[in-house]
Structure 1
Amino acid sequence: MATESQELPEIGEIVIATITKLTDHGAYVSLDEYSGLQGFLHISEIAPGWVRSVSKFVKEGEKKVLLVKKVNPNRSEIDLSLKQVSKEQQKKKLLEVKRIEKGKTFLENVKEIAGLSDNDIEKLEDVIFSKYDFVYDMFLDVVTKGIAVLDELKLAKKTVSAIEEVSTKIKPPSVEIRGISEITCNKSDGVEVIKNALLDAIGEQKANVNVVYIGAPKYRITVKGQDFKTAERMLKPILDKLQKTVEKNHGTFNFTREESKKTREG
């Protein structure tokens, strides 16, 4: 039941809820983000079509992503829907919750390392939210852009140092773009020409570029970057230089793109 000062969800909001009790007419749930506030998931809102058994779709103790359909603050009634939540909304909400949980864990680590009080952490959160939507986003920003991104927040030196240390636990997001290069060179030392052309084209980018020999005349070139724009910017000069060198040695060059991949931050 909601108290007078308790925050209530808004109609249309996507929430995380824990199933607490099943009935013939639906399921009672507690809203995880609203201090366990009770809501009700009617049988007609569980799945499309006729639902014969509630327990076939939801079980006690299970967490579900639900849509808030109706809120009656006077009677503390919150009606929810499972069937109106799309897969995309579900995925987005679960990622958001994961981000929040990670942020909490990392802040606890900062608290321990810097020797901060609960009050210090509350103040720190307020400062973080002045720039970021999620606490976790701050740590991710530090990983991808460096600790200098926090300069404008004017945090204490020991706090900045702790944030920097905790940020090293994050594996930054990355993308992979790749393709097959078909390279031929009919010179007597053609294999060496191709090998040197590849090494020369990659140059200082070797930490982000991988070349695998598939079988004459094919080579797979894979480039990793923090986003597609960065990866594309790395790939283009490599291909241009490779083509120029191969054709200068009277060889042929062709590049065919393969499907790109994106990895999540960890």
Structure 2
Amino acid sequence: MRYYEQRYPEVDELVMVQVRQIAEMGAYVKLLEYDNIEGMILLSELSRRRIRSIQKLIRVGRNEVVVVLRVDKEKGYIDLSKRRVSPEDITKCEERYMKSKTVASIMRHVASKVPSVNGEEGHEEDIPDETLGGGASEEARLEQLYEEIAWPLGRKYGHPYDAFKLALTEPDVVFSSLPSPPQPAVLSVLVSTIARRLTPQPIKLRADIELTCYTPAGIDAIKKALRAGEAQSNEAVPIKAKLVAPPLYVLSTNATDKYAAVDRLERAIESIQSTIEDQGGSLVVKMKPKAVSETEEQDLAQLMAKAGAENAEVSGDEDEEEAL
């Protein structure tokens, strides 16, 4: 399936390709955004430097960002260059490619649901056969959905992905702008799929700090400093401070905006540091704010449980000594 309305890329366009074969003349690739049509990166266009080992520059199966040099639509020849691509070009192309892949995933899911909505679930009347291509293959239905929905939205909003993001909050505005609005049942599947795939999911972020204060203020100073850190919370980024084992503490949050969460955690650390230093204590950052995996969270939970058990053992020993 091609992601864009035009069947071939334009000269000077950045495209994402996958390397299929390495030959004497260069590398044969498939254009991932254009229905896997074949192109070639000429040997002279692989690198600005002298090529000592082509395998170190390019490998079969790997995705590469390249720029289009020539397109012969009649013969089907597409010449590409890797050496003329800048790091900024790579970032720009990768972002567009990921957007296009997400749109393709959404559209393919909707196309796969067309038969079930038509027949299996007994809602034939909701989506007329002629609207969805009747008994056409899923690929044909997918292309029809692109023609009727994705590509028109791309012309209006710059990219169908941007239109879908807007549709999370303003679906009527987005889909009423189409030349031919989708049938209600198709629209229902599309809207629910967009909501499921594009609604930001909360991520866990954490920062680890060591906090000490050996002045008479001691524990009270540490509590005051941690409360100052938690005060940097807001509705979108709630921050919680927890003791792991003295002097190690963690600041954690769940948020949908990673950058906003990192910023808030950094502010919390600054507030804690300022407060504890006013009381004669100190703070050391052991791990800067970052998103953490489930495995890292489990490791932390085990560490806290171990510390809790050790504290309990110490308390028990003290009780026994007192009894003696």
Provide TM-score, normalisation by structure 2.
Answer: 0.54
Tell me if structure 1 keeps the 8 A contact 2:11–2:71: yes
State the secondary structure of the residue aligned to 1:96.
helix
1:219 paired residue number: 249
Tell me if structure 2 keeps the 8 A contact 1:183–1:252: no
State the secondary structure of the residue aligned to 2:231.
helix
Q: Deviations over 1:183-219 (max 9, x none)?
A: 7484587389549937973788597424243554553
The structure with more radius of gyration:
2
Q: In the alignment, which of 194, 200, 213 is matched to residue 172 of structure 1? A: 200
Q: Deviations over 1:100-157 (max 9, x none)?
A: 2222222233452766624566433256436644444455556xxxx43324225576
Alpha-carbon shift at residue 45 of structure 1 (Å)? 1.5
Counterparts in 2 of 1:211 and 1:137: CA distance versus 1, 3 Å: farther
- For residues 235 and 263 of structure 2, what CA distance do their matches in structure 1 show? 13
Tell me, yes or no, if structure 1 residue 228 matches structure 2 residue 259.
yes
Provide TM-score, normalisation by structure 1.
Answer: 0.62
2:173 paired residue number: 152
Tell me, yes or no, if structure 1 residue 69 matches structure 2 residue 69.
yes
1:201 paired residue number: 231
- For residues 64 and 200 of structure 1, what CA distance do their matches in structure 2 show? 44
2:39 paired residue number: 39
What is the alpha-carbon root mean square deviation over aligned residues?
4.9
- For residues 272 and 62 of structure 2, what CA distance do their matches in structure 1 show? 56
- For residues 22 and 189 of structure 1, what CA distance do their matches in structure 2 show? 66
- For residues 19 and 77 of structure 2, what CA distance do their matches in structure 1 show? 16
Task: Pick the structure with more helix per residue.
Answer: 2
Any stretches of 5+ residues in structure 2 without a counterpart? 1-5, 119-126, 133-140, 177-182, 293-324
**Identity across matched positions, percent:** 19
Any stretches of 5+ residues in structure 1 without a counterpart? 1-5
- For residues 52 and 196 of structure 1, what CA distance do their matches in structure 2 show? 57
Q: Deviations over 1:57-109 (max 9, x none)?
A: 44566543222234466876533212333445335434432332222222233
Q: Which has the higher contact order (CA 8 A, sep 6+)?
A: 1
Tell me if structure 2 keeps the 8 A contact 1:67–1:82: yes
- For residues 175 and 166 of structure 2, what CA distance do their matches in structure 1 show? 16
Q: In the alignment, which of 123, 134, 149 is matched to residue 148 of structure 2? A: 123
Tell me, yes or no, if structure 1 residue 162 matches structure 2 residue 183.
no
Tell me, yes or no, if structure 1 residue 83 matches structure 2 residue 113.
no
2:179 paired residue number: none
Counterpart residue identity of residue 251, structure 2: I
Alpha-carbon shift at residue 34 of structure 1 (Å)? 3.5
- For residues 289 and 46 of structure 2, what CA distance do their matches in structure 1 show? 37
State the secondary structure of the residue aligned to 1:47.
coil
- For residues 220 and 265 of structure 2, what CA distance do their matches in structure 1 show? 26
Task: Pick the structure with more strand per residue.
Answer: 1
Tell me if structure 2 keeps the 8 A contact 1:127–1:153: no
Alpha-carbon shift at residue 44 of structure 1 (Å)? 1.5
